[in-house]
Structure 1
Amino acid sequence: MEWFSAGGDEFARQVLQRGIAAVFLIGFLNAAFQFPALLGERGLLPAPLYLDRIRGRGIPTLFHWRYSDRLLLTVAWSGAAVSALLVAGVPQSGPWWLPMAAFLLIWGLYLSIVNIGQTFYGFGWESLLLEAGFLAAFLGSNDVAAPVTVLWLFRWLVFRLEFGAGLIKVRGDRAWRDLTALYYHHETQPMPNPASWFFHHLPRPLHRVEVLGNHFAQLVVPFFLFFPQPIASVAAAIIIITQLWLVVSGNFAWLNVLTILLAFTAVSDSAIQAVLPWAQFGSPDPAATPAVFVVVVLAATAAVLYWAWAPLKNLFSRNQLMNASFNRWHLSNAYGAFGSITRHRNEVVIEGTNDPPGPGARWREYEFRGKPGDPRRLPRQFAPYHLRLDWMMWFLALGSYGAWFPELLRKLLAGDARTLRLLRRDPFNGEPPRWIRAQMYRYRYSTAAERRSEGVWWVREPAGILVDPIEGPGPVRRRPPAW
């Protein structure tokens, strides 16, 4: 079995299994804390109504049987518990089939959630987590050597992720081609973090160097993941460093963290020992690999290679798709991010009042946890946790007006406790306001001088009304913003 068993990759296997399980843990906790308010029985986009619409379409989810918030929480907490066991390495200490069963279980449970998550789960990193979790199921336990075919499939996943992201950029927006993208990106990204203001104010020549470095890391380096060691380890290290740069400069849920974990698939034990000479890694005897394990892994490998044709064609298509899944199981997906860069930042600000609308009305602002609001408030770090409502508010400001937003306003008018828990601050302390409205603002980062003199991180100015004042229960009528 020496041809089947990878040698010198035990560190990579441990990072992949425990790291991917840790991201699943975050995903399940995220579902437990946010899904009922966003998509539950009385959520903004109720899952039961969606399930009625997709019945008979063959979309895999155990909620076809029935949906209830209690069942959703059972799924989420069960998935979190199994994920925590995998992080601790408990199933990996048993026979080869035990971690396989554990990973396939959490993959199936999370797939059931994603497939009814609608727009709130329409992010590329959901599919990335599902694909990574499926592959991790076939890495084996501590008693068998890591299968070489699975490790190569992980490298293929990292290649698609990085190379696809690089292609979508240079194909999609002139700002990536003329190296000016980072003149805007740190200011206009969906959810800035505490360091984003400082990154934005770096010298413009350095921003151009950053874009060049990004193109090199995404369009050139991924090919070297398939080279012999130590070249593959060096390529992985470059990807890890560039992803750490993104972790420091923004809030992109678990996209960057998961990419870092996946890149370790190309880092050999000898490379780790070159940095950490005291590190020691066990090496299971290839002869001890059960034949049935080999058969199962090779069958899974053949299936993934069969599915690989669609994303491979997509990479070289003029109409490249970004963050698309080519099958209902979210396996062998197309990835990419920021194919276009917005030049200005618009924000939707929701306000309520108990006064009759007019010049004398005192409007009070609802504050979200992550998205910019109060200009004096420094953006917070939330990634790898995903603030789904805050992200959708960013898309809303770009013009993606969905059915969930009028429902959000109705929930706020009713003082709905579940919805209010998604926010950072309710100016009415749980009591429903009499009137509510949604305003548009144009935001920009403050200059260093404005920061010193006024203590603000943002400067904003009105850009129009998105939703006119509405009173109590009633239709929500949108007015086109004036930007």
Structure 2
Amino acid sequence: MEWFTAPDYWLSRLVFQRALAVMYLVAFLTAALQFRPLLGERGLLPVPRFVERVPFKRAPSLFQLRYSDRLFAAVAWAGCAVSAALAAGLDSLLPLWGAMLLWLMPWVLYLSIVNVGQTWYAFGWESLLLETGFVAVFLGNDEVAPPVVVLFLLRWLLFRVEFGAGLIKMRGDECWRKLTCLDHHHETQPMPGPLSWFFHHLPRPLHRVEVAANHVTQLVVPFLLFTPQPVATAAAALMIVTQLWLVLSGNFSWLNWITIVLALSAVRFPADPPSVSAAPLWYVIVVLAVAALLVFLSHRPVRNMISRRQVMNRSFDSLHLVNTYGAFGTVSRIRYEVVVEGTTDEVAREDGDWREYEFKGKPGDPRRWPRQFAPYHLRLDWLMWFAALSPSYAGSWFGTFVERLLENDRATLRLLRRSPFAPDTPPRFVRARLFRYRYTTWRELRETGACWERTYVREYLPPTRLVGSGRPS
């Protein structure tokens, strides 16, 4: 069975598994801390309402069998516990079959969350975590050397992530072909980070170099993953450097970090492999069968990649086993933000005492500098960015969000950085206004201390209050 394993990659497997467990931990922690106001029984998009109309076949989940907020919390915190145990190396203390079952647990638990998460979980990195986590189940532990075919599947996944993203850019916005997208991207990206202002103000020729380097990394370098060492390690290292550059320039949840984790599996670390026993026959059969299934299912993302109508971030099966990825096929030139305000005035006047709600990550007060949150995912803040692009993106939840603000709902307010109202004094009216945001110049920053300059565009939601039925009006 020497052909089946690659002993030289034992340390690569170890680093990959521990890093992946940390990604799982972040994902479950995000779910545990945010689910109640987003998906709970009184959430903006309640899970019970979703499972009533969507059958198990379309969205397999433990919550299709039964739902309660207490059960969701148990699933999320259990996922945190299992992820922490994997990060600490518990799988290495178990027999091979036990380690595989342990790695299967977070995949099942997180799949249950994603499949009822609706728009709050409609991000490509959710599927990427699930696909990576499923492949990791079959990577083995200290009892056997890493299977070659599983290492290939991880590189194949990394290839699709990078190459698919490169293709969607070349087929999408012309600014990628003209090398000008970064003239706008750092300013208009969903959630800027603390260094995004500085990235935006880099010289434009350097922006052209950044875009060109990105094209090389995503359209050429991925093919080198399937070449002999040390070329494959160099290719993976280049991808890691590129992803770290993206980590510094914005807040993209765990998208960049899990791409780095995938790249680590292709790096061959210089370390002598320990002695291990031969892979048992049952393990070989299971791994080869799963690999054959995943290769077969890969025809759908391949067809998507070569299609002129390529789509981004699409799951082709309800288990998220094989997916297609990509980001920023188009880049916005102008940044809009929805500013939500409330007042305790008896009558909603334009010049009344309107006070602004502060979000944790999305831009608000022009003088408040962005913070680093990734790999933690602020789901409401991200959806507020989409809401600013078009009200249609928020049609299913924004009205309920306003209702919860009018109620001073404690769970919803915990999603925000600050509410301008005391817990026992809810606002009488809530309104939303659309502003255009742009980064200040170096001179404006020195003179005002503000990193943003904002201009009123139009009314987004007129002053709204609760009526007798408890619904906003």
TM-score, with normalisation over the residues of structure 2?
Answer: 0.97
Counterpart code for 2:228 = P
Counterpart code for 2:37 = A
Structure 2 match to 1:162: 162
Structure 2 match to 1:480: none
| Alpha-carbon shift at residue 359 of structure 1 (Å) | 4.2
Match of 2:342 among 334, 349, 352: 352
Structure 2 match to 1:406: 399
Identity %: 57
| Alpha-carbon shift at residue 7 of structure 1 (Å) | 2.8
Query: Would the aligned equivalents of 2:57 and 2:318 in 1 still touch at CA under 8 Å?
Result: no
Query: Would the aligned equivalents of 2:4 and 2:148 in 1 still touch at CA under 8 Å?
Result: yes
- Whole-angstrom distance in 1 between the partners of 2:255 and 2:180: 23
Please show how residues 26-425 of structure 1 align to structure 2 within 5 Å.
Answer: 26-55=26-55, 57-270=57-270, 280-285=271-276, 287-355=277-345, 356-399=347-390, 400-425=393-418
Q: Aligned in 2, Cα 1:141/1:401: closer, same or farther, shift over 3 Å? A: same
Structure 2 match to 1:453: 447
Secondary structure of the corresponding residue to residue 140 of structure 2? coil
Counterpart code for 1:238 = L
Counterpart code for 2:306 = F
- Whole-angstrom distance in 1 between the partners of 2:99 and 2:128: 19
Q: Aligned in 2, Cα 1:85/1:470: closer, same or farther, shift over 3 Å? A: same
Structure 1 match to 2:419: 426
- Whole-angstrom distance in 1 between the partners of 2:93 and 2:330: 46
Secondary structure of the corresponding residue to residue 145 of structure 1? coil
| Alpha-carbon shift at residue 476 of structure 1 (Å) | 5.4
Task: Write out the 4+ residue segments of structure 1 that deviate beyond 2 Å after TM superposition.
Answer: 55-59, 280-285, 472-477
Structure 2 match to 1:2: 2
- Whole-angstrom distance in 1 between the partners of 2:56 and 2:129: 26
- Whole-angstrom distance in 1 between the partners of 2:472 and 2:300: 42
Stretch moving more, 290-299 or 328-337:
290-299
Query: Would the aligned equivalents of 1:269 and 1:281 in 2 still touch at CA under 8 Å?
Result: no
- Whole-angstrom distance in 2 between the partners of 1:126 and 1:260: 15
User: Where does the alignment leave 5 or more consecutive residues of structure 1 unmatched?
Assistant: 271-279, 478-483
| Alpha-carbon shift at residue 204 of structure 1 (Å) | 0.3
- Whole-angstrom distance in 1 between the partners of 2:355 and 2:272: 58
| Alpha-carbon shift at residue 343 of structure 1 (Å) | 0.1
- Whole-angstrom distance in 1 between the partners of 2:78 and 2:434: 41
Stretch moving more, 356-365 or 226-235:
356-365
- Whole-angstrom distance in 1 between the partners of 2:394 and 2:39: 17
What's the CA shift string for 1:252-285, capped at 9, x where partnerless? 0000000001001211123xxxxxxxxx443333
- Whole-angstrom distance in 2 between the partners of 1:176 and 1:360: 44
Structure 2 match to 1:472: 466
Structure 2 match to 1:481: none
Query: Would the aligned equivalents of 1:95 and 1:143 in 2 still touch at CA under 8 Å?
Result: yes
Stretch moving more, 188-197 or 3-12:
3-12
Query: Would the aligned equivalents of 2:313 and 2:326 in 1 still touch at CA under 8 Å?
Result: yes
Counterpart code for 1:47 = V
- Whole-angstrom distance in 2 between the partners of 1:84 and 1:175: 42
- Whole-angstrom distance in 2 between the partners of 1:17 and 1:448: 44
- Whole-angstrom distance in 2 between the partners of 1:163 and 1:360: 52
Query: Would the aligned equivalents of 1:376 and 1:457 in 2 still touch at CA under 8 Å?
Result: yes
- Whole-angstrom distance in 1 between the partners of 2:56 and 2:334: 43
Counterpart code for 1:405 = F
Query: Would the aligned equivalents of 1:86 and 1:99 in 2 still touch at CA under 8 Å?
Result: no
| Alpha-carbon shift at residue 59 of structure 1 (Å) | 2.2
Query: Would the aligned equivalents of 2:166 and 2:215 in 1 still touch at CA under 8 Å?
Result: yes
Counterpart code for 2:175 = A
Counterpart code for 2:245 = W
- Whole-angstrom distance in 2 between the partners of 1:359 and 1:421: 28
Secondary structure of the corresponding residue to residue 464 of structure 1? strand
What's the CA shift string for 1:45-78, capped at 9, x where partnerless? 0110000011354421011111100000111111
- CA RMSD in angstroms comes to 1.2
Counterpart code for 2:286 = V
Q: Aligned in 2, Cα 1:203/1:48: closer, same or farther, shift over 3 Å? A: same
- Whole-angstrom distance in 2 between the partners of 1:402 and 1:99: 44
| Alpha-carbon shift at residue 472 of structure 1 (Å) | 2.2
What's the CA shift string for 1:123-151, capped at 9, x where partnerless? 00000000000001111011110000000
TM-score, with normalisation over the residues of structure 1?
Answer: 0.95
| Alpha-carbon shift at residue 199 of structure 1 (Å) | 0.3
- Whole-angstrom distance in 1 between the partners of 2:254 and 2:188: 19
| Alpha-carbon shift at residue 446 of structure 1 (Å) | 0.5
- Whole-angstrom distance in 2 between the partners of 1:92 and 1:296: 19
- Whole-angstrom distance in 1 between the partners of 2:252 and 2:350: 40
| Alpha-carbon shift at residue 360 of structure 1 (Å) | 3.7
- Whole-angstrom distance in 2 between the partners of 1:318 and 1:370: 35
Secondary structure of the corresponding residue to residue 9 of structure 1? helix
- Whole-angstrom distance in 1 between the partners of 2:74 and 2:350: 50
Counterpart code for 2:229 = Q
Stretch moving more, 62-71 or 287-296:
287-296
Counterpart code for 1:435 = F
- Whole-angstrom distance in 2 between the partners of 1:466 and 1:248: 32
What's the CA shift string for 1:314-358, capped at 9, x where partnerless? 110111110000001001100000010000000000000012222
Query: Would the aligned equivalents of 1:160 and 1:334 in 2 still touch at CA under 8 Å?
Result: yes
Structure 2 match to 1:276: none
- Whole-angstrom distance in 2 between the partners of 1:333 and 1:21: 21
What's the CA shift string for 1:138-168, capped at 9, x where partnerless? 1101111000000000000000000000000
| Alpha-carbon shift at residue 389 of structure 1 (Å) | 0.2
Structure 1 match to 2:18: 18
Counterpart code for 2:329 = G
Counterpart code for 2:322 = S
What's the CA shift string for 1:209-250, capped at 9, x where partnerless? 000000000000000000000000010011000000000110
Structure 1 match to 2:436: 442
Query: Would the aligned equivalents of 2:56 and 2:64 in 1 still touch at CA under 8 Å?
Result: no
Query: Would the aligned equivalents of 1:142 and 1:284 in 2 still touch at CA under 8 Å?
Result: no
- Whole-angstrom distance in 2 between the partners of 1:220 and 1:411: 49
Counterpart code for 1:343 = R
